[in-house]
Amino acid sequence: MNDYRKPECFMCRLCGHDVRAMAELYMVWDDLWNEVTWPNSAGMLCIGCFEDLLGRKLTGADFTPAPLNDIGGIYHAYPSLRMRDRLRR
């Protein structure tokens, strides 16, 4: 089980960047996540690494209605440019 109080829990599994610092915390639909990772895997991927694995850019339809994806909400007062772009598509 991940302990989300530890900073390393927020590191992209591929590139190692901190997705919190990048302002790229997001949640996509389970079937999409499982398409590019192993089923029900935990951990984080930055948007760039997720898109590289997926083979395309994310669109607004790929994101769940979770509060984590709410631009301007408590999780994204200052979202990354990629995050804003993908959620508005």
Determine the Cα–Cα distance for residues 4 and 24; give it in Å rounded to an integer: 15
Domain ranges of the chain: 7-88
**Which positions ≥6 away from 56 have C-beta within 8 Å?**
none
Instruction: Enumerate residue ranges in the chain where pLDDT < 50.
Output: 1
Instruction: Please spell the DSSP secondary structure of the chain, one letter per residue.
Output: ---TTSGGGGBBTTT--BTTTTT----B-HHHHHHHSSTT--SB--HHHHHHHHTS---GGGB-S-GGG-TTSSS-SS--HHHHHHHH-
pLDDT at 40: 66
